[in-house]
């Protein structure tokens, strides 16, 4: 019962920190107040589902509460089972509890929420898409979305279904040009201006107008004056002239800037996805998150460095059954099956699929069935090793793009079954939870999944940024108190 008492004490302290009465918490959880009282006193443990709801209502990390309840996350439990001595040594050497920041000073005035009155970092998400970036920040337990924008109506519907009706549809430049448009106050601005203008896959990138959408992002920063901002884009951004302009403009506005290319697999996402991350803050020195995972091929140094091995495709999608049907069933079937549907390949396509072994690619098809290999592939003697590729079970996926349902576009064949990965599998490999609601056609949902910032990577960024803001605000408060 010691675990139940410790868990109950933590829930009570979080409730008081958030200034939520026991009665109101019970109302939000849709349970009897007496049951909440018994949980807080350690007399009864909450169910796993109720624990998840408590974490959501009190804006804290569900992993923390589950650990206190005595149930380790699956990836951590696996590591302890496979390497008990090494894992325990790492925990004892480097264990620290991430502190949820206390309500801070006048830079972030109190926000009224349905949970009560407390101060949280208010989040503005631009070019928000489905909301993968916002989801990661929200799951840190420290940020609350207050405004979002995207040009795509389906993405806006998806965002609002998951975060509340505050995502506005429309061209951000047109919104900014309107005299009646007012952006709400925010502490942090995040977003990924469309990256096609910088991508090496874009042959017209030198003159692509989408390279200038960062200007709208920075205009919002200029108007809102947030404590910090985070920008995500393709790796090529950091070598561009535009990035030098972004850095110069940020420094002129009083922000300190750090930027680097992060690999999502290094932060627990079962996908090798490299993206440029720019973090700027005006209340402290920003830091990029430290990796939590690493390539298991280097496992000799993993535990010495306190790192877990990369997550794999098997751990991401290995428990899913064979897909059913060929259509989206959101609202008609429970997750994960609502997005776990197949296609109707031709007989020729099936033969091609069967030529590709696990980890194989178009060269295997060319070797086995040159008569079924497109001529352009035969003429291309090098490069394109991911085209018509099959995933490995025990490695992370490669970048999930918007056309993951087309094997000719990349390494998107299922590791064992003769088919491309499904929308649900792609969403999981991007680290979206099954209960995240997507709206739209099959193509629209695929675009939302492929364009998203992986939520787990976003959460690691959010936690690192929260620590920067927390310490920066504390220093400012001390300076203010001394001056007074």
Positions marked catalytic: 195
Spell out the alpha helix ranges (H) of 190-312. 214-224, 241-252, 299-302
Residues 352, 355, 358, 362: is their CA dihedral positive or negative?
Answer: negative
Distance CA 407, CA 353 (A): 9
Distance CA 190, CA 127 (A): 9
Distance CA 149, CA 155 (A): 9
Provide the b/e sequence for 323-332 (b: ≥16 CB within 10 Å). beeeebebee
Backbone angles phi, psi at 450, to 5 degrees: -70, -30
Report whether 195 contacts 276 (CB < 8 A): no
Report whether 264 contacts 249 (CB < 8 A): no
Cis upstream peptide for 336 (omega within 30°): yes
SS3 369: coil
Distance CA 259, CA 372 (A): 45
Distance CA 267, CA 271 (A): 10
Residue 110 contacts by C-beta under 8 Å, 6 or more apart in sequence? 103, 117, 118, 119
Report whether 413 contacts 355 (CB < 8 A): no
Residue 125 contacts by C-beta under 8 Å, 6 or more apart in sequence? 131, 133, 134, 145, 147, 148, 149, 159, 167, 189, 190, 191
Pseudo-torsion of CA 317, 322, 325, 329, nearest 10°?
-40
Residue among 351, 350, 334 at smallest CA distance from 342: 350
Residue 105 contacts by C-beta under 8 Å, 6 or more apart in sequence? 473, 476, 477, 480
Provide the b/e sequence for 59-93 (b: ≥16 CB within 10 Å). bbbbbbbbebbeeeeebeeebeeebeeebeebeee
Backbone angles phi, psi at 400, to 5 degrees: -85, 110
Distance CA 96, CA 85 (A): 19
Token pair recorded at residue 289: 């998150």
């Amino acid at each position: 019962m010691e675990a139940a008492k410790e868990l109950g004490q933590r829930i009570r302290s979080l409730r008081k920190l958030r200034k939520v009465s026991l009665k109101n918490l019970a109302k939000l959880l849709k349970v009897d107040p007496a049951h909440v009282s018994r949980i807080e006193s350690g007399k009864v443990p909450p169910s796993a589902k109720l624990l998840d709801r408590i974490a959501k209502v009190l804006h804290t990390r569900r992993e923390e509460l589950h650990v206190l309840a005595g149930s380790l996350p699956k990836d951590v439990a696996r590591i302890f089972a496979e390497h008990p001595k090494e894992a325990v040594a790492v925990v004892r050497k480097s264990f620290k509890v991430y502190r949820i920041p206390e309500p801070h000073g006048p830079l972030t005035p109190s926000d009224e929420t349905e949970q009560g009155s407390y101060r949280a970092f208010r989040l503005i998400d631009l070019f928000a898409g489905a909301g993968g970036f916002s989801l990661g920040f929200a799951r840190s337990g420290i940020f609350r979305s207050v405004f979002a924008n995207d040009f795509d109506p389906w993405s806006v519907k998806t965002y609002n279904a998951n975060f509340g009706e505050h995502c506005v549809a429309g061209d951000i430049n047109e919104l900014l040009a309107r005299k009646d448009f007012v952006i709400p106050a925010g502490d942090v601005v995040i977003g990924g201006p469309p990256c096609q203008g910088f991508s090496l896959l874009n042959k017209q990138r030198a003159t692509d107008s989408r390279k200038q959408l960062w200007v709208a992002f920075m205009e919002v920063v200029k108007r809102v004056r947030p404590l910090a901002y985070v920008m995500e884009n393709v790796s090529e951004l950091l070598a561009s002239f535009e990035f030098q302009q972004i850095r110069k403009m940020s420094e002129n506005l009083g922000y300190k800037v750090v930027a680097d290319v992060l690999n999502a697999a290094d932060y627990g996402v079962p996908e090798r996805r490299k993206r440029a991350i720019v973090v700027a803050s005006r209340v402290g020195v920003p830091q990029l998150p430290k990796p939590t995972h690493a390539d298991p091929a280097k496992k000799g140094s993993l535990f010495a460095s306190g790192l877990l091995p990369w997550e794999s495709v098997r751990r991401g999608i290995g428990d899913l059954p064979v897909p059913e049907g060929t259509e989206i069933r959101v609202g008609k079937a429970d997750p994960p099956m609502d997005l776990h549907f197949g296609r109707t390949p031709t007989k020729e396509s099936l033969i091609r699929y069967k030529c590709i072994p696990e980890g194989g690619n178009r060269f295997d098809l060319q070797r086995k069935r040159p008569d079924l290999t497109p001529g352009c592939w035969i003429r291309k003697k090098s490069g394109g090793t991911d085209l018509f590729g099959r995933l490995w079970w025990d490695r992370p996926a490669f970048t999930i793009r918007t056309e993951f349902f087309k094997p000719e576009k990349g390494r998107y064949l299922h590791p064992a079954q003769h088919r491309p990965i499904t929308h649900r599998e792609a969403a999981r490999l991007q680290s979206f939870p099954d209960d995240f609601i997507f709206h739209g056609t099959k193509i629209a949902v695929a675009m939302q999944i492929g364009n998203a910032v992986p939520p787990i990577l976003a959460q690691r960024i959010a936690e690192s940024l929260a620590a920067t803001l927390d310490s920066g605000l504390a220093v400012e408060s001390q300076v203010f108190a001394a001056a007074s």
